[in-house]
Structure 1
Amino acid sequence: MLLMMPKGNKSAVSQFLLLGFSSLEERQVLLFLVFSQVYMIILTSNIPFLAAISVDWSLHTPMYFLLFALSFSETCTTFAVIPKLLVNLLLGNQTISFLGCTAQMFCFFGFRATNCFLLSAMTYDRYMAIRKPLQYPVVITKRVCADLVTISRTTGFLIVLGISSLVFSLPFCGPNAIRHFFCDISLVLRLACSDRHIAEMAIVFLCAFVLLGPFMGIILSYIYILAAILKIHSTPGRCKTFSTCASHLTVVITHFDCAFFVCLIPKSTSPLDEDTFIALSYTFFSPMLNPVVYSLRNQEVKSALRKLTAHTFLSPKM
């Protein structure tokens, strides 16, 4: 089972050491202050964004329903890693329990895999809106959007369940130092004290499926979207149509760029290097990008946020 401790003749590892910032021991408090402030920005940008979409009826459309699901998933991703990171920095404690490492890996990569499929679903939404606008209201209904979100979450978490099971079914009996600030799949796998070749091959295949499947679907959809935009005769019309995809494209490029690096590029062995900085961007910057990009570029979201702010702070108190 996923959460069972490995058994065998050798003593099992009961906890791991997260050494991502061990070389910056004298700056632990400073890192805590910086990361906690960034985390507050993530929460204070995502929570009002989610609230605005929830309460404003003008945003109860398929596109914003999918955007809500993506932002919610991004926010949940941070809960899996950042609170533990902040506690470790503040207390100078680098340990995480075996079960905690298992849960962290499952939740973090589960939501990340979900996001890959959600971004693909959002591309399909844009494809139908631009390529087949007359069929869009019939095809992209609230029920279809709910099904797309359910399929994305179920598929993402089932695949990561398989990956986590492969990793933690192996025996861990010696080294327990993870040269990262969270339980990364490949780095935890290296600590197994048995032959891990088959598990590594299976995990690479599953990660490639999660990343390349949705990514290729997004590329194909945008080829058709671009072809449809080029058929529009007026330049203002082409620009206006393309602008509806610009925010989504920004999020897609950022997400998959970091995801390919974190999941498929082999990790180096130094305790603090570019792997850590890319992972920090993936953990902190990506969840903050959604509400910022869509709020800055979308008048409907801006209007909903203004109304939410006015209702919250300016409405008369009972």
Structure 2
Amino acid sequence: MYAKCSDLYDTFKMFNEMTSNADSVSWNTVLAACMQHNQAGEVFSLLKMMLPSQNKPDHITLVSVLGACREIASLEMGDQVHSYAMKTGLRLDNSVTNGLIDMYMKCGSLRNSQKLFDSIESPHVVSWSSLIVGYAQFGHGEEALKLFGKMRSLGVKPNQVTFVGVLTACSHVGLVEEGLQLYRTMEMDHGVVHSREHCSCVVDLLARAGHINEAEDFINQLPFDPDIVMWKTLLAACKNHNNVEVGKCAAENILKIDPFNSAAHVLLCNIYASDCSWEDVARVRSLMKQRNVKKVPGQSWIEVKDNIHVFLAEDSLHSERDKIYSMLEELWLQMLDAGYVPFKDKLHE
């Protein structure tokens, strides 16, 4: 209840009061709470506490831990969970196997994911879908479509996630008509109702191929209010295809939903800049200052010796910031010595 209605502070406070008497349900509940609140790092800390306790991780525990591995792309920890599942026999549980396949895909280890999938005698639709979505997201659209064809030939009924993967694959390989045909027939032929995710995939399918106006028409004809993801997808495509008119409309719709959305302001600025509309660039930047909208800083992380180090762009609070910036400066000097010319200097040339 605390996890769903409050924050992690109350959840941990209650859990700490009963740690000595906590059973596997309590551990799994607090692990799931961490995932609900996007605290993947806490999952690993809890797992280290759980292992020496009398409550050993079960299949529910591993699903949460694999979700954390997937969230921060921790392949090393995912491999350890896989080994633990093999030693304890939990690998035989469908939810664990599907979690492993999905984890390997999200971490970019397509080979391990495929190898694990091939070891299953009768893969579940969840396994098929994880593989199809993974291949599609990593740009292997043709492989994803081949898997979809094989899945159908074996009589496995696709679900909503499967079609997200298939439509994404069509988008990445430029199969616009094939993707639209699948979208039109998925409910009639497969009993899968169109969701917002599927509609977002169609917007991406059209916009990525340069059919910007068709993508806008598709959004406007939807029987429900389009969400911010659809407009963001269209706006990003407008930047790539230098469509100022539709890009402005997409940005306006995003800002109606979220007036402080930094991505919309930045993308709109970039669209105006690419069109050399400098007055509009200045106007949008002025609007950002008025609304106190700031660009969300980029974030990255690296895992070293079971510790995850998180970095933010222009980070001034990191404990080792002096060493980090010193190394960056050294790399920058090496780039200049190697002949690199900064973009601003190229413009002056």
Tell which structure's C-alpha radius of gyration is larger: 2
Normalising to structure 1: TM-score of the pair? Answer: 0.24
The two structures have a TM-score, normalised by structure 2, of 0.23
By relative contact order (CA 8 Å, sep 6+), the higher-ranking structure is 1
More helix by share: 1
